Structure 1
Amino acid sequence: MALPVDTLTTAPARNPGAPDLGARAPAAFAPAVPPEAPLAMPVQDLRRWDPARARAVPSRRAPVAARLFVFGGALALTVYGAVQMYEVVSVAGSTTWLQWLLLVLFTLNFSWIALAFASGLLGFVSLLRRRGQAHPSGPLTRRTAVVMPVYNEATARTFAAVEAIRASIEATGEGARFDYWILSDSTQSDAWVAEERAFLALRARLGDGARLYYRHRPKNHHRKAGNIADFVTRWGGHYDHMLVLDADSLMSGDCVVRLAAAMEADPDAGIIQSLPLIINRNTLFARLQQFAARIYGPVIATGLALWSGRDGNYWGHNAIIRTRAFAEQCGLPDLKGKPPFGGHVLSHDFVEAALIRRGGWSVYMLPDLAGSYEESPPSLIDVAIRDRRWAQGNLQHSRIIGAAGLTLATRQHFATGIAGYVASPLWAAQLVVGIALALQTAYIRPEYFSTEFRLYPVWPRFDPVRALQLFGITMGILLAPKLFGLILALLDGPVRRASGGALRLVASALIETLASALLAPIAMLIQSGSVLQILLGRDTGWNPQRRDDGSIPMRDIVRRHRWHTILGLVAGIAAFAIATSLFLWMSPTILGLVLAIPISWASGQLAIGLALKRLGLLMTPEEREPPAVALDAKAIEACNAADGFDDADALCALHADPALQTGHVAMLPASAPRPRGAIDPDHAMAQAKVVEAETIGEAADWLKPKERMALLHDRALLDRLTQLRG
């Protein structure tokens, strides 16, 4: 099954100038993957479900009290807010249709923040009372595959993470229970060959007992979900569990071992999710996210974990999964119709949690388990690009929320995800209706006597005092989870000191809150635009996420935000013309939109983020004292970058290194014979160009991206490539 266990316990020393493969003969290459151990992964039917198919589990008490507290409290707050808004708009004893529309929109939006408040309050109270929770640890008896799906990623970073995680796990003494897989879906030739070079180089350093494997799929069918499914159906039988990472994931060995031990200790667990903290971020926007995730995130995650109980959710990475349960329950069907609502399931992780829970397995989170980390996009635009894909995935869940056999809590997770994106156009609509009402009051002659018989005229009036009070309540509920996190951080001595002390911690929270207020209207319009595009049938596609700290060219920033700026100017002028009070009330929204271009530019600036860091602001404990696995990964990444794999041309690299070509050919999957007459245009063009080329430089210049990929899959064309002059 697996190769012999080696004895590595720390990250090995590196010589950045050393060749990646050394002088190893081609025959010395061990297989890149072990023999297959297939698991059947049947496609699930979302329309029908026989409860008898679910595994029998011991009776467990659902967190009824926590759910009553959260949903009952949210309902009570929503009713209170709706009544207060009704009193605001119906002060004259009658309500117009615009006022009724404002009331409906306000109630929907208020219910969303009320639910977040109630869940955050539950987490806050729990964390105030909790004094730490013990989690199981080794010795382990089951096998776990640590899998990292990659898609056109920089190998310096991803292979550094795998190497650092592996070394950290080995240091726990439980390394023999883990194998490590890089599952590539890369569609760019340079990225693919760079992955192979990095894999062969790492395995050469670690030795044949590294238990390190690499697989590249010829076609990235169903994207990440298909990537994981391919691994499970071909090699899943080797492993009791799989720990799924993302390309920016880092996990300490202790965290990984404790997750595996928790899975072994709980035979009913299907997925156990950790809470990843954001680390290694330096741009202004990324540091804001890093600070918010560290200070406010545990409050929100703890509340969610408490009311979800064993009906929890899954966010696609840094979680351990029972492999056979996943195979039995998580075969995802294609949805009828075309994208964005049809086709393959985009946000597959929510659906996998729903299906595995339907099958009788538990899904839950360990929010206080330390040692789980990730990174975040470096700028507002990068987040918007990722958020567009998430918006489509969550709205697509409207096709799945009614699937047969799902638990009520699972449907709530789907509803929450959908509401998170629908909320933006609802807030925008509420803003527009509010402006329309103010405009009507200022410039349109009211209809004092309607067609209905009334003894008194209809006065279009508001109660300004009650409106101000309701605005204060709304803002208090909206900002309360931030305040809860800040209070907990101030009460926690080590966290407070590592965040720069009480004054700097409070100042950092104020900076984050102010920045969030300026970013909120921009994000509202971006998400509203995404929802509109999805409703109009526009598919998002799937581009690799930018993970570096580089800034975005100003022309791209202007292009993406010019309409936000124009809208802010128009709204500001209109509000000021209607009433000074309306302008002042809308000023945060107007200011954020008018300054959208400089705000977006500043969000991606390293200099601003590092300046705040030097002042001790937006600091987190993990930044003050970086985790050992993060320090190791950073050092290894620097060595990997010196190797230059990510900067090399794939064809030139193969031409220059016969050992690499031998390794590449050995890792190619067996290809089915081409049916006669079925000509692949990319392959045909690649063949023609390679045959005509006299030098490797000509071939590299002539071949287009898809033709390069066709060549790299063809052993005969690769052999012809090596015969070209350098």
Structure 2
Amino acid sequence: MAEMTTPTTAPATISPASELPRRLAGRRIIFAALNIATIAGLAGAMLALLAADGVGTVEGLMWGAYVLTLPWLSIGFWNAVIGTAVIARGPRPGDPLALDDAAGTPIVTRTAIVMTLRNEAPAEAIGRLRLMLDDLESSGEAEHFDIHVLSDTNDPAIAAAEADEMAHWRHGATRPDRIHYRRRTDNRGFKAGNIEDFCDAHAGDYDFFLTLDADSFLSARVVLRLVRTMQAAPHLGVLQTLAIGTPSTSVFTRTFQFGMRHGMRAYTAGSVWWTGDCGPYWGHNALIRMAPFHAHCRLPELPGDGPLGGHVMSHDQVEAVLMRRAGYHVRVIAEESESWEENPPTLPDFIGRELRWCQGNFQYFQLLGMPGLKPVSRVQLVLAILMYVGAPAWMVFILLGAGAVAANGASVPMGWGLALVGVILFMCFAPKIMGLLGVFASPTQSRRYGGRFRVALGGAFELVASTLMAPAVAFAVAVFAFGLMFGKRVEWRAQARAVRQVTWREAWASFLPQTVFGIALLALFVVAAPNLIWFAAPVVAGLVLAVPFAVLTSDPGLGLAMTRTGVCAIPEEAVVPAALVRLRQIKVSQGGDPGAVSATA
């Protein structure tokens, strides 16, 4: 183990954060009032619709299931509305959430750059770290950083490859004492346990640590900005910017991250406006203050041996609320920057990730009563649960409605019903729509995306794809969520990242239940209530078409055609940052997808 320097900011000298001005409390009151009014209005509208022929037990249960979906829907909508206004307005003097990025100030702290691995492709993951360190060397600031690769790999062949990659790196490095590799044989606590063990061993060696997943990649400019900002603000405990997807030739990835990018920009700006010091932590691409994290953010082991017991899987938001409880801010800089990640390449891979997050977030039911949490921190935990309550609630609503149609037929005021469906769909897609409108309205921003025509084309394609994808994902999450009650669980596996083709066999094996359910719904409405088919059309289409959707969105030929024509292109495809050019070279050398990173930097 290399000799470490003593942190400039010792744990005993870190001061808890002062409270933000009362203006933030006022924002939270306004935000709560907007959402209460919206939820009440939508709940009342549905009650009026269901009460057309009287309200019985079935209608009451349907209304209750529907109401469970509203908080997440309403909060996302108002985050987007407020975020769009904040972005359009620009920075304002005296903003209580303003942070000094301390540009150009000397770095006087020590930071560990920490990447956690579990059965990932070693050459590509470690290659990203090498590029980050090279970029820091070029900036002249690498002396303030050490590299730590923390492995939970249990595949012997991959473990051997990791060790070889690290040995090769150290052998050619000018400062091998700054490059460290450790593999655990006891994978207690998964990724969070791995980080916890690292902090136990190095709490006195570093002021900050930067958490990375195997697909994380940050430029030196962003890393140094985070470090300088945190140096200047001793009340910060966690600091992150928006993480954006790297270019890809996968149809699914391109489409997903095109919509995600526009939605997250508006959504996060609005969320920051009212959450402020109680922001989220997304588990990677974030700078963390070592001392309070080590002292206050150790995760509890949950009681029970079922899927919701044991070690906390979705560790990030729990660590965020514990950091805030300790008096430190958890902050998001709601700006796109050179902080990258990779998104799932296919619909089955995306659903696999969603199921793991669903199980982890449902564990929060046991953590809502933790003493001493800030009120907004409890809201963050509730929102994380509600993210995955919506899918089973919608499926219950649909099943009850289908049962009612089969038993008695149905008579719904057509105009009123279609209007309510339209409002709900608009609110669902509001973050993406408002993010797109923000780009469309700005000549500079629209040029970055290839012009207004491509922005509009990509936006339309993504909204259609999202509409088709959502029912298939919701069905899978709902089935899994109900299965949790009977002991069903997911295993902690490496996330799929490589671009691949979904075969028809795999698609049928994955989505046969969705297809059968969708066909049954379609037949039911055609026979028993043809006047309601327009209400069910978005859900039925997504379920019935799940198999071809999964195959087509993984088709390499279609992906290359989208890449060549710029459909769902992101700015990094037109003007490629130098860091991504080097990353592409690594991906090509490893036989991976070079993405669309082919333009001249």
> Taking structure 1 as the reference length, what is the TM-score of the superposition?
0.76
Q: Secondary structure at the match of 1:371?
A: strand
Q: Distance in 1 between matches of 2:227 and 2:336?
A: 12
Tell me how far apart the structure 2 counterparts of residues 469 and 641 of structure 1 sit (CA, whole Å). Answer: 50
Q: How far apart, in 1, do the equivalents of 2:461 and 2:589 lie?
A: 36
2:73 to 105, 108, 113: 113
Match of 2:152, as an amino acid? D
Q: Is residue 179 from structure 1 mapped to residue 140 from structure 2 by the alignment? A: no
- Report the secondary structure of 1:136's partner residue: coil
Alignment of 1:129 with 2:89, yes or no, is yes
Compare 351-360 and 469-478 and name the one that shifted more: 469-478
1:470-549 aligned within 5 A: 470-549=420-499
Alignment of 1:256-267 (within 5 A): 256-267=223-234
Q: In the alignment, what sits opposite 1:567?
A: 517
Check conservation: 2:151, 2:182, Cα contact below 8 A.
Answer: yes
Q: State the partner residue of 1:78.
A: 39
2:250 corresponds to 1:286: no
- What CA distance in whole angstroms lies between the structure 2 residues aligned with 1:565 and 1:198? 45
Distance 2:257 2:589 in 1: 26
Secondary structure at 1:355 match in 2: helix
Q: Identity, % of aligned pairs?
A: 29
8 A contact 2:111–2:210 mirrored in 1? yes
Q: Distance in 1 between matches of 2:462 and 2:3?
A: 51
Per-residue deviation, residues 602-659 of structure 1 (Å, max 9, x unmatched)? 22222222211212210111222222212112223444669xxxxxxxxxxxxxxxxx
The residue aligned with 1:162 is 129
Q: Letter of the 2:476 partner, please give it.
A: I
Aligned partners of 1:465, 1:292: CA distance in 2, in Å?
A: 30
Q: Does 1:227 align with 2:190?
A: no
What is the aligned counterpart of 2:363 among 366, 372, 396?
396
State the partner residue of 1:450.
none
One-letter amino acid of the structure 2 residue matched with residue 160 of structure 1: G
Q: In the alignment, is the contact (CA less than 8 A) between 2:17 and 2:234 conserved in 1?
A: no
TM-superposed CA distance for 1:147, in Å, is 0.6
| Corresponding residue number in structure 1 for 2:10 | none
Separation of aligned partners in 2, 1:609 and 1:380: 14
Distance 1:181 1:356, change over 3 A: same
What secondary structure is seen at the aligned counterpart in 2 of 1:536?
Answer: coil
Amino acid at match of 2:227: A
Aligned length in residues = 578
> Which of these residues, 244, 247, 254, is aligned with residue 211 of structure 2?
244
Query: Partners in 2 of 1:200 and 1:640 — Cα distance?
Result: 18
2:282 is aligned, of 306, 315, 330, to 315
Structure 1 position 417, deviation (Å): 0.9
- Per the alignment, residue 435 of structure 1 pairs with 402
Task: Give the SS at the match of 1:90.
Answer: helix
1:191 aligns with 2:155: no
1:273 paired residue number: 240
CA drift at 1:339? 3.2
Check the 8 A contact 1:110/1:474 in 2, yes or no: no
Residue in structure 2 matched with residue 357 of structure 1 by the alignment: 324
Q: Secondary structure at the match of 1:276?
A: strand
Match of 1:97 among 49, 57, 60: 57
Q: CA deviation at 1:548?
A: 0.4
**Corresponding position of 1:713:** none
Query: 1:433-487 deviations in whole A, cap 9, x for unaligned?
Result: 2223333443xxxxxxxxxxxxxxxxx8543332222222222222222221011
2:335 is paired with a residue whose SS is: coil
Structure 1's 106 and 437: CA in aligned 2 closer, same or farther, altered over 3 A? same
Report the CA distance between 1:579 and its aligned residue.
2.1
Matched, 1:34 2:12: no
Q: Which residue of 1 aligns with 2:48?
A: 87
Deviation per residue, 1:281-331 (Å, 9 max, x gap): 221111112211222221111111221100111111000001111110012
Return the alpha-carbon distance in structure 2 between the equivalents of residues 437 and 337 of structure 1. Answer: 38
Distance, in Å, in 2 between the alignment partners of 1:500 and 1:55 is: 47
Aligned-residue Cα RMSD (Å) equals 2.2
Deviation, structure 1 residue 209: 5.0
Contact 1:38 1:234 in 2 (8 A): no
Residue 524 of structure 2 corresponds to residue 579 of structure 1: no
Letter in structure 1 aligned against 2:78:
A
SS across alignment from 1:404: coil
Cα 1:346–1:183 change in 2 (3 A) is same
CA gap 1:333/1:86 in 2 versus in 1, 3 angstroms? closer
Q: Is the 8 A contact 2:68 2:389 kept in 1?
A: no
Match of 2:95 in 1: none
Q: 1:151 to 1:359 in 2, by over 3 A?
A: same
Larger CA deviation: 482-491 vs 582-591: 582-591
Measured in 2, the distance between the counterparts of 1:91 and 1:117 equals: 28
Whichever residue aligns with residue 340 of structure 1, its letter is P
TM-superposition CA deviations, 1:657-704 (whole Å, max 9, x none): xxxxxxxxxxxxxxxxxxxxxxxxxxxxxxxxxxxxxxxxxxxxxxxx
Looking at structure 2, the residues matched to 369 and 66 of structure 1 have their Cα atoms a distance apart, in angstroms, of: 24
Counterpart in 1 of 2:540? 590
Counterpart amino acid of residue 120 in structure 1: A
Matches within 5 A, 1:319-398: 319-368=286-335, 370-398=337-365
How far 1:125 moved relative to its partner? 0.6
Counterparts of residues 301-312 of structure 1 (less than 5 Å): 301-312=268-279
Equivalents in 1 of 2:547, 2:591: separation in Å?
Answer: 33
Cα deviation for residue 256 of structure 1 reads 0.2
What secondary structure, in the 3-state scheme, does the structure 2 residue paired with 1:368 have?
A: strand
User: Is the CA contact (8 Å cut-off) linking 2:260 and 2:432 kept in structure 1?
Assistant: no
Q: TM-score, normalised by structure 2?
A: 0.92
Residue 36 of structure 1, CA deviation: 8.0
Q: Are 1:184 and 1:217, in contact at CA under 8 Å, matched by a contact in 2?
A: yes
Alpha carbons of structure 1 residues 635 and 462: separation in structure 2 relative to 1, 3 Å: closer
- Matched residue SS, 1:58: coil
Structure 1 residue 141: Cα displacement: 0.6
CA contact (8 A) 1:87 1:463 kept: no
Unaligned runs of 5+ in 2: 8-13, 93-97, 593-601
* The one of 398, 412, 420 aligned to 2:387: 420
Give the AA of the match of 2:49: V
Partner-residue secondary structure (3-state), 2:140: coil
Q: Aligned runs of 1:48-67 on 2, under 5 Å?
A: 56-61=16-21, 63-67=24-28
C-alpha deviation, 1:498, in angstroms:
2.3
Decide whether the 8 Å contact of 2:110 with 2:208 is kept in 1: yes
Check the 8 A contact 2:418/2:535 in 1, yes or no.
no
Amino acid at match of 1:88: L
Bigger Cα displacement from structure 2, 601-610 vs 423-432: 601-610
Whether the aligned pair in 1 keeps the contact of 2:6 and 2:206 (CA below 8 Å) is: no
The range that moved more, 609-618 or 386-395, is 609-618
Which residue identity is paired with 1:116? Answer: G
Give the deviation of 1:554 after TM superposition.
3.1
Q: Please give the per-residue CA displacement for 1:381-424, whole angstroms capped at 9, x wherever unaligned.
A: 00111111111100001001111111111111111111111110
- Kindly state the Cα deviation for residue 369 of structure 1 after the two structures are TM-superposed: 5.5
User: 1:69–1:118: 8 Å Cα contact kept in structure 2?
Assistant: no
